[in-house]
Amino acid sequence: MEFKKYLTQQCAVVEQALARYMLPEEGPLSAHIKAMRYSLFAGGKRIRPILAMAAAEALHAATEPLLPVVCALECIHTYSLIHDDLPAMDNDALRRGKPTSHVVFGEAEAILAGDGLLSFAFELLSHPDVQQTISPSAQLRMINIIAKAIGPKGMVGGQSLDLAAEGQTIPFDHLRLIHGYKTGALITASVQAGAIFGMADEKQFAALSQYGVQIGLAFQIVDDLLDVEGTTEDLGKTAGADAQRNKATYPAFFGVAKTKLMALEAVEAAVTALEIFDAKAEPLRALARYIYERNN
Amino acid sequence: MEFKKYLTQQCAVVEQALARYMLPEEGPLSAHIKAMRYSLFAGGKRIRPILAMAAAEALHAATEPLLPVVCALECIHTYSLIHDDLPAMDNDALRRGKPTSHVVFGEAEAILAGDGLLSFAFELLSHPDVQQTISPSAQLRMINIIAKAIGPKGMVGGQSLDLAAEGQTIPFDHLRLIHGYKTGALITASVQAGAIFGMADEKQFAALSQYGVQIGLAFQIVDDLLDVEGTTEDLGKTAGADAQRNKATYPAFFGVAKTKLMALEAVEAAVTALEIFDAKAEPLRALARYIYERNN
């Protein structure tokens, strides 16, 4: 119950920050900004921002100065959804219960809305406000970690592998690789951004990274489960899309029961990684369990 | 003659740097990296990197430590070309005399190759090597300037405006706005990146920025002229494409003769902005003239 309140509260913090940092829909560029805002304010769960703030909190850091960064994480996530949904990619017409960007604004503007959000994310990540809290070199390290996590050896590379694997028989190791790049990398980087903000020492950074890797894994396994078990209404996007596209998934490899167990194991490994932290890491622990439970 | 040698030499420096910093085509991500490399090594003139290096040179700075940054500028430029050429955008099949990315790799991978190059650019911009020369806060300022120049209030916004204006009658002021965002912003930011690298003081930074704005303008005017006067063979891309698409251009507004004069005026304004610099700014001056002459 308490955790639900925490989630609602943190989600509101992120929404307010996005409203503050995102460009207003005015001037000659208003049509472009409108398309960016449409997807950004489409009611995401804001998991990556909340994870980043919870990681900083675990290190007893104030999370307010982290807000430009958490907005950037959400811009990056939103850009990836817009591009993934494009006709040339997954060709999804529905996301979060709303028509996808290209359905509303056309394909060209959807591509540009994604490009705009990605570029704007780095404007936020390099925001001078951030230097009031952490050193410029810590900020640069954070930018470098995030850029790596979303680039050719991260999220974008994962999407490329995912598309190439469609309709192919791939070994499980390859599926794990795809998931790690496509979903895990940005989730891990979000936690690491919070860690840098909380001025984690080497041991704390390693523990939080390990936590990030494990919840990234849990997240993708649960996503695969939701696609099998959820309805289109519950999901706000087309259910059963993976099976339709003949995509390799955890349930396809292991069946639903074993897949659930694997998700639970990842969550437990994530919580175990937090052993060195005190009660301030409670939100992080609860977030790990929440990632599993959103399926149940 | 001397300047031709300079251009060839600087171009070779950029090619070598790109070869060094760009990911090698190996491992499970090789297909994605191959698509990125295909467009990156398609024989661009490397104008933005050369401008950045020439600006640093004008301030008597060594240009070698700037190489990760100049590679990033070229990655960003290449990403913008890949996305602009997409079927949903300008639908161009030819670029630099070669089939465009989506023709070779399909639309999905072309979108991802662009996304990958853009993300990778910020990995390079935040590269720790850069800190051997400039302070972390100067590096952050550079990242912020570049991110702004290519985002919703920069290059991407300009492309959005450009698409929206197709087939429309727009006033000249609006054309100037589009050009400024779409082409001018990244060119100006490239010069500014070099200025930051050369530790420009406020006055020097303002002068170089003014130079950047003027050559950005000249560049776009000449581009419009080339589309009218060049052949597909000369250009390596489809000639007459603007007129075919009923795009607003300088020649459409003013005719060819007056447009040439306007380009020349911008070049002269750029050179005038460099008055406070000594002979080390000669390459910058020659580059301004070169931008005009590539039409003649």
**CATH code of the domain containing A145:** 1.10.600.10
Backbone angles phi, psi at A253, to 5 degrees: -80, -45
Question: For the segment B40-70, what is each residue's pLDDT rounded down to a tens digit?
Answer: 999 899 999 999 999 999 999 999 999 999 9
Instruction: Classify A98 as helix, strand or coil.
Output: strand
Spell out the residues 6+ positions from residue B265 whose beta carbon is closer than 8 angstroms to its own.
Answer: none
Q: At A145, is the pLDDT very low, low, confident or very high (cuts 50, 70, 90)?
A: very high
Instruction: Classify A59 as helix, strand or coil.
Output: coil
Pairing of β B98-99 and β A94-95: unpaired
Question: For the segment A246-279, what is each residue's pLDDT rounded down to a tens digit?
Answer: 778 899 899 999 999 999 999 999 999 999 999 9
Count the neighbouring beta carbons within 10 Å of the beta carbon of residue B133.
18
* Of the candidates B197, B255, B143, B223, the residue with the CA atom closest to the CA atom of residue A140: B143
For A82, nearest residue in chain B (alpha carbons)? B111
For tokens 């197709």, name the residue: B166
Q: Which domain holds residue A186?
A: 2-293
pLDDT of amino acid A61: 96
A206, two tokens: 């390693």
For tokens 């894994």, name the residue: A217
Instruction: Answer whether A118 sits within 8 Å of B116, measured CB to CB.
Output: no
Q: With contacts defined as CB-CB under 8 Å, which chain B residues touch A88?
A: 106-108, 111
Average pLDDT over residues A56-61: 97
Q: Which of A45-59, A75-89, A233-247, B164-178 shows the lowest mean pLDDT across its residues?
A: A233-247
pLDDT of amino acid A30: 94
Are A46 and B195 within 8 A, CB to CB? no
Residue B139 has pLDDT above 90, yes or no: yes
3-state secondary structure labels for all residues of B89-122: CCCCCEECCEECHHHHHCHHHHHHHHHHHHHHHH
Quote the pTM value: 0.95
pLDDT of amino acid A231: 61
Question: For the segment A168-202, what is each residue's pLDDT rounded down to a tens digit?
Answer: 889 999 999 999 999 999 999 999 999 999 999 99
Nearest by CB to residue B140, choosing from A83, A126, A160, is A126
Name residues 67-86 of chain B within 8 A of A (Cβ).
83, 86
* Of the candidates A217, A229, A145, A206, the residue with the CA atom closest to the CA atom of residue A183: A217
Please measure the distance between the N-terminal and C-terminal CA atoms of chain A and give it in whole angstroms: 16
**Interface confidence: ipTM more than 0.85:** yes
A121, two tokens: 């994310």
Question: For the segment A208-246, what is each residue's pLDDT rounded down to a tens digit?
Answer: 999 999 999 999 999 999 888 776 656 566 666 666 667
Q: At B143, is the pLDDT very low, low, confident or very high (cuts 50, 70, 90)?
A: very high
Cα angle B87-B146-A55, degrees, rounded to a multiple of 5: 100
Q: What is the spatial distance between Cα A39 and Cα A82, in angstroms, rounded to a whole number? A: 7
Minimal CA separation from B280 to chain A, in Å: 31
Backbone angles phi, psi at B209, to 5 degrees: -65, -45
Instruction: Answer whether B126 sits within 8 Å of A144, measured CB to CB.
Output: yes
Q: What is the spatial distance between Cα A54 and Cα A6, in angstroms, rounded to a whole number? A: 10
Nearest by CB to residue B137, choosing from A114, A127, A136, is A136
pLDDT of amino acid A275: 98
Q: Which of A142-146, A172-176, B35-39, B241-245 shows the lowest mean pLDDT across its residues?
A: B241-245
pLDDT of amino acid B232: 60
For B143, nearest residue in chain A (alpha carbons)? A126
Minimal CA separation from B137 to chain A, in Å: 5
Cα angle A252-A255-A257, degrees, rounded to a multiple of 5: 150
Pairing of β A98-99 and β A94-95: antiparallel
Are B269 and B292 within 8 A, CB to CB? no
For tokens 């290190």, name the residue: A59
pLDDT of amino acid A296: 41
Instruction: Answer whether B36 sits within 8 Å of A123, measured CB to CB.
Output: no
Query: Looking at the complex, does the CB of residue A25 fall below 8 Å from at least one CB of chain B?
Result: no
Spell out the residues 6+ positions from residue B118 whose beta carbon is closer than 8 angstroms to its own.
Answer: A115, A118, A119, B75, B76, B79
Question: For the segment B238-280, what is each residue's pLDDT rounded down to a tens digit?
Answer: 666 666 667 788 998 999 999 999 999 999 999 999 999 999 9
Q: What is the spatial distance between Cα B187 and Cα B190, in angstroms, rounded to a whole number? A: 5
Q: What is the spatial distance between Cα A285 and Cα A281, in angstroms, rounded to a whole number? A: 6
Please measure the distance between the N-terminal and C-terminal CA atoms of chain B and give it in whole angstroms: 16
Question: For the segment B66-121, what is each residue's pLDDT rounded down to a tens digit?
Answer: 999 999 999 999 999 999 999 999 999 999 889 999 999 999 999 999 999 999 99
Are B198 and B58 within 8 A, CB to CB? yes
* Of the candidates B251, B217, B247, the residue with the CA atom closest to the CA atom of residue B92: B247
Nearest by CB to residue B152, choosing from A29, A126, A128, is A29
Which residue has better confidence, B74 or B226? B74
- Beta strands per DSSP E along chain B: 94-95, 98-99
Are A89 and A51 within 8 A, CB to CB? no
Instruction: Answer whether A33 sits within 8 Å of B148, measured CB to CB.
Output: no
pLDDT > 90: what percent of chain B?
A: 84
- In chain A, what's the furthest Cα-to-Cα distance? 54
Q: What is the spatial distance between Cα B296 and Cα B284, in angstroms, rounded to a whole number? A: 19
Spell out the residues 6+ positions from residue A150 whose beta carbon is closer than 8 angstroms to its own.
Answer: A76, A80, A156, A185, A186, A189, B119
* Helix or strand holding residue A157 (H, E): helix A155-165
Minimal CA separation from A106 to chain B, in Å: 9
pLDDT of amino acid A132: 87
Q: What is the spatial distance between Cα B241 and Cα B162, in angstroms, rounded to a whole number? A: 14
Q: At A294, is the pLDDT very low, low, confident or very high (cuts 50, 70, 90)?
A: confident
For tokens 């040179």, name the residue: B57
Query: Looking at the complex, does the CB of residue B118 fall below 8 Å from at least one CB of chain A?
Result: yes
Nearest by CB to residue B109, choosing from A153, A155, A160, is A160
pLDDT > 70: what percent of chain B?
A: 94
pLDDT of amino acid B296: 41
Residues paired with B145 in a beta bridge:
none
Query: Looking at the complex, does the CB of residue B25 fall below 8 Å from at least one CB of chain A?
Result: no
Q: How many domains does chain A have?
A: 1
pLDDT of amino acid B239: 64
Q: With contacts defined as CB-CB under 8 Å, which chain B residues touch A133?
A: none
Q: How buried is residue B260: exposed, middle or buried, by Cβ count under 10 Å (0-12/13-18/19+)? A: buried
